[in-house]
Structure 1
Amino acid sequence: MAKSEKLDAVTVSQEIVRDVGHSVSNADNILLAKLGYKSEFKREFSMTETVAFAFSIMGVVASVSSTLSFGLASGGHVGMVFGWLIPSLFVATIALSMAELASSMPTSAGLYYFSAKLAPPKYSALASWITGWANITGQVTLVCGIDYTCAQMIASAIAVGSDGAIILSAGATYGILLAILFSHGVVCSAATHILARLNLFYVLITVGTTIAAIILLLVVSGDDKVSTKDAFTLFENNTGWTSNGWAFILAFTAPMWTLTGYDSAAHIAEEVSGAARAAPIAIIVGVGATASLGWLLLIAASFATTSVTALLESPLPLPMAQLFLDVLGKRGMLAIWSLIIVVQYVTGAAQGVDASRVVFAFARDNALPGSRLWKKINVYTQTPVNAVWFVIVVSAVCGVLGFSETALESLAGSSVIGLYTSYAAPIFLRITSGRTKLVPGPFSLGRWAIPIGTIAVSWVMFMVIMLFFPSGRSPEAADMNYAIVIIMAVFIFSSFWWIVSARKWFHGPIKNVDDPDSTYNVVPKEHA
């Protein structure tokens, strides 16, 4: 074949690929228009990058490292291993139900849009309002929780590196938090194609660090590991609760805090090519991979933990840091811990993007104070930069709670309660009033939707109640779980606003396109 003929063949192939891409983009935009919204983002997330985003936002190795204390206190070895496995199986039902909804209605509005469309018409706006505010609460507080933990990880590294000579105060840790938040504001303001490519790095560093941590804990601990029987069956109750069963249930907090944010695949749907297929796959793969790798890491940690009490009494902010120090020594600990800090940092960056898309979408439907400002798309990056900085500023304010360890833990509990309440609302409506309303997308649960959705909603109801309990029995003011205060503050504000004003003008998602077929059945100019 002549050289010119080869070049012609390559050119034709490239044209075919481009035309297919344009066709998929058009189909996405038409579907979005039929859902009521015009396309305002560039669709530059591929299937792989969408999966990477949903996975990296849970930051498995960093999240396990930051929540190890829950399992240690609530059952010791059993709390670590089975306190992770059992909730993960139930979270899978939530992920499956959410994947079905995201496939049917791929829009950045996500959960509150699902609720609006599946609720009885009379209660559609109210269902959307409640779901939206619950999700906003969870999204923003989760950004703060992730970044504050990153600051604590840095503080732990400084303490170990200085042999305990430098112990950062709460004020210094808060200063690190502000620096992390600011840098995340800059990163999250980038254009979509940059954010998409960054997620490939995120997933590589996350998976690589997790596997390295598992191998190091199992290999370097050598003969100092506990027996297989103890690693899986030794139970220790360090919660203060007399009931061992209830103490063990409290261990469920760790995986519930880690396995959150996977709705992110729905929130970036308007930036994804082939969103109706990519979003559900990203949700399922993200949850499955995080749950599996997290369990393997905790099994390795259980084998390497020779004294639960010693880890809980460590002067370091996070027990996992002490475990790595015990097993790997100072240099080894600092090496793996540095990578874990990077994982936690990129997890916060991914969550910042997710939260900003929720703020943008809710503001697009005029449901936030100052919506006109937060729903603006930056002309240069084609991303909601104002919404990004809204998230950063509110997270910084929430970070003040970090001056109290109890308040910070309550903030983490609030993020889980807010997110899972917003997850359960549309699933509940799907299995009740929305049984005949859902138009199935490429991914559908079919006849399994009702039983799976029922299990998912029941689990969320149980966990939300559990997350309001204090970690110990008969707590004093300093040990109280203030998640109820944070959640009620948001509930009272949003309820008051609804009764006084919003019920008169908020009618759920607002259509900003009239004729989807004629408006979007063309190739955008930049692709022509």
Structure 2
Amino acid sequence: MESKKSNSATPLHSIRSNVDVDAIHITSVLSNKGITINVDHVIDDDEAKILALGYKQEFKREFSLFSIFAVSFSVLGLLPSIGSCFGYQQLVVGMSPIPWLIAVLFITSVAYSMAEIASAFPTSAGTPYAVSQLAPPKWSAFLTWMTCYSNWLCQITASPSVNYACACMILALKAYNSTDGYSPSNGEIYGLTLGIQISHAIISSGPTKWLARFNSFSTIVNMLFLVIVFVMILAGNKRSEINEGATKFNSNSIAWSLDNQTAWPMGFAMLQSFLGVIWAMSGYDSPFHLSEECSNAAVAAPKAIVLTATCGGVIGFLFMLAISYTLYDLDEIAADPQGLGQPFVTYLSQIMDKDLVNTATAFTAISGYFMGCSCLFAASRVTYAYSRDGIFPLSNIWKKVNKTTQTPVNAVWINMFLGQLFLLLMFAGDVAIAAIFSVGGIAGFVSFTMPTLLKITVARDFQRGPWSLGRYSTPIGVVSCAFVAVMIPVLCFPYVKGDDLTPDEMNWTVLCYFGPMLLAGIWYFIYGRTFYSGPKCNIDEADIIYDDTGLIDGVEQTEKHQTQIDTKEST
């Protein structure tokens, strides 16, 4: 960034700063074109970088490193995530923490690779922007388009899936305390989820400063409740008193044992059980999408991603250890004799007094509420960023920033509405609604690793940001891409096969993920390719001064652009 003064008696603007894009040392839609951006106010490094990436600074940068870590850790929501995904791990291969230990190593490699990308491209557009700059020119627009839609699917299914699990947890608590055999209906679950979603939309429509404080508070609450429930499981463990003949803790051989409860071989079942870990560990990408709202984004965002993935993996493993050494009867949990609909609550009832079960479940539900709010908040920034590039119908509506709150309120509410449409799957059965969990896993993985794949293949010489993996970048990237390539088809398989495979037991993930992605691809080739060439610069053309050639990518500029060049020469 250079500070210049105009000698012109009649300047086009009241200019106090000029940003020489190529001097920022960043790969963007404006780089390598000899562009200088005029700004009518003094700017800092963060604003210089976002301008060099092609975007105006529209949000206030009121998030710190801790604030964006708070959002991502809240989205991670370990306590409600582990509780909600009990059926995707323990009821697949048993109580052992081995699946978590293995899966989290690969998931962390995905997060670390994405952190390096976030440092190089600190914009709320996230990984699709990186894809647009790393992909071969011939395929850049199409790959960016598909990455946008994949990431968007991940984001808009996160909040409804979390809030669905939260509603189930609340109603399971009611069923647990019921004396008349109450069991929640799908209508009750849907209605409660709708109420939670609406409250989250109201909160997420607030100003950035207020949201930063709210998310910091929710993270502190989530961390506190996670520790309390962890201590309750170990210290409040009374399984030897509740279950005749039981010991207080499982032996090592039992706690670490695997119990294949699927129709597939153990190795494949182990891979299927990774869904619980993948979903529980999702959310580490949130700092990327908050890059335009935090200070020192090129360093703070990747650090927050790394902190979230590392802390989440370690803490989650400790929590899984506590479960494996205290869980009493998997068959009873699977049978759900009380009709609770939540295996985690049944597990707690095997080892705790009623009061502790109520407390632990309540804390889990509250944590789930905060987690769902953070998910909707992060998703709204994604919808805003992609609408800014014009990839959605009615993008002009969803990209608007509310003048009062200075946040994308319209994007918040369209996400809430679409989330409720996804939740209609619950009326098709438990297997159908489970698809929104695996859709989130696949959609996230595809969008997270696409720039990593390009980085280790066709764009090895890209301009890295101030935070990088150094010589470990390529090895970690290879591990990340290989893991995702294996997991995508695995997450599409049902848990049964042969004669046991009925329409009710089918895995709907193929339809729920690849269906929308197919439509997105068709729409691109029919219409999208006529106007979409990648991320769009939203800086006023009058503020952009081109180099003396008058050529950008070999194309002669308009008379307006040439006038700017002439003005630059005269000054």
Q: Could you tell me which residue of structure 1 aligns to residue 352 of structure 2?
A: 328
2:57 is equivalent to residue 39 of structure 1:
yes
What is the Cα deviation at residue 235 of structure 1?
2.1
**1:41-440 correspondence to structure 2 within 5 Å:** 41-78=59-96, 81-163=97-179, 165-222=181-238, 224=240, 225-241=248-264, 243-314=265-336, 315-403=339-427, 404-437=429-462, 439-440=463-464
Does the Cα contact within 8 Å between 1:185 and 1:388 map onto a contact in 2? yes
Q: Could you tell me which residue of structure 2 aligns to residue 19 of structure 1?
A: none
Q: Could you tell me which residue of structure 2 aligns to residue 465 of structure 1?
A: 489
Does the Cα contact within 8 Å between 2:118 and 2:126 map onto a contact in 1? yes
Q: Could you tell me which residue of structure 1 aligns to residue 474 of structure 2?
A: 450
Q: What secondary structure is seen at the aligned counterpart in 1 of 2:85?
A: helix
After superposition, give the CA deviation of every residue in 1:177-236 in whole Å (9 maximum; x if it has no partner). 110111111011011011101111111111111111211111222573343313443221
- Whole-Å separation in 2 of the counterparts to 1:515 and 1:433: 32
Q: What secondary structure is seen at the aligned counterpart in 1 of 2:93?
A: strand
Does the Cα contact within 8 Å between 1:56 and 1:202 map onto a contact in 2? yes
What is the Cα deviation at residue 453 of structure 1?
0.5
What is the Cα deviation at residue 259 of structure 1?
1.3
Larger radius of gyration: 2
After superposition, give the CA deviation of every residue in 1:246-304 in whole Å (9 maximum; x if it has no partner). 22222111011111121110101101111111101110101111111111111111111
Does the Cα contact within 8 Å between 1:116 and 1:509 map onto a contact in 2? yes
Aligned with 1:476 (options 476, 490, 502): 502
What is the Cα deviation at residue 356 of structure 1?
0.6
Mark the runs of 5 or more structure 2 residues left unpaired by the alignment: 1-40, 241-247, 546-571
1:376 partner amino acid: K
After superposition, give the CA deviation of every residue in 1:301-320 in whole Å (9 maximum; x if it has no partner). 11111111111112221111
After superposition, give the CA deviation of every residue in 1:50-106 in whole Å (9 maximum; x if it has no partner). 11111111100100000112222222122xx01111110011111111111111111
- Whole-Å separation in 2 of the counterparts to 1:268 and 1:235: 40
- Whole-Å separation in 1 of the counterparts to 2:355 and 2:342: 17
1:499 partner amino acid: F
Q: What secondary structure is seen at the aligned counterpart in 2 of 1:442?
A: coil
- Whole-Å separation in 2 of the counterparts to 1:348 and 1:211: 20
2:53 partner amino acid: L
Q: What secondary structure is seen at the aligned counterpart in 1 of 2:123?
A: coil
2:45 is equivalent to residue 27 of structure 1:
yes
Most deviating of 102-111 and 310-319: 310-319
Does the Cα contact within 8 Å between 2:98 and 2:256 map onto a contact in 1? no
1:240 partner amino acid: A
1:396 partner amino acid: Q
| RMSD over aligned Cα atoms | 1.8
Does the Cα contact within 8 Å between 2:256 and 2:324 map onto a contact in 1? no
What is the Cα deviation at residue 240 of structure 1?
2.9
What is the Cα deviation at residue 163 of structure 1?
3.7
What is the Cα deviation at residue 164 of structure 1?
5.5
- Whole-Å separation in 2 of the counterparts to 1:57 and 1:422: 18
Distance 1:301 1:201, change over 3 A: same
Q: What secondary structure is seen at the aligned counterpart in 2 of 1:237?
A: coil
2:448 partner amino acid: Y
2:519 partner amino acid: F
Does the Cα contact within 8 Å between 1:71 and 1:254 map onto a contact in 2? yes
What is the Cα deviation at residue 138 of structure 1?
1.1
Q: What secondary structure is seen at the aligned counterpart in 1 of 2:494?
A: coil
- Whole-Å separation in 2 of the counterparts to 1:497 and 1:405: 31
- Whole-Å separation in 2 of the counterparts to 1:36 and 1:411: 34
Higher relative contact order (CA 8 A, sep 6+): 1
- Whole-Å separation in 2 of the counterparts to 1:493 and 1:223: 52
Q: What secondary structure is seen at the aligned counterpart in 1 of 2:527?
A: helix
- Whole-Å separation in 2 of the counterparts to 1:295 and 1:123: 40
2:502 partner amino acid: E
What is the Cα deviation at residue 121 of structure 1?
1.3
Does the Cα contact within 8 Å between 2:55 and 2:539 map onto a contact in 1? yes
Distance 1:328 1:104, change over 3 A: same
Q: What secondary structure is seen at the aligned counterpart in 2 of 1:512?
A: coil
Most deviating of 311-320 and 112-121: 311-320
Does the Cα contact within 8 Å between 1:30 and 1:516 map onto a contact in 2? no
Aligned with 2:511 (options 465, 485, 489): 485
Does the Cα contact within 8 Å between 2:449 and 2:481 map onto a contact in 1? yes
2:351 partner amino acid: V
Distance 1:34 1:43, change over 3 A: same
1:140 partner amino acid: I
What is the Cα deviation at residue 166 of structure 1?
2.2
- Whole-Å separation in 1 of the counterparts to 2:62 and 2:542: 21
What is the Cα deviation at residue 110 of structure 1?
0.5
Most deviating of 256-265 and 386-395: 256-265
Q: What secondary structure is seen at the aligned counterpart in 2 of 1:77?
A: coil
What is the Cα deviation at residue 447 of structure 1?
2.0
Does the Cα contact within 8 Å between 2:128 and 2:144 map onto a contact in 1? yes
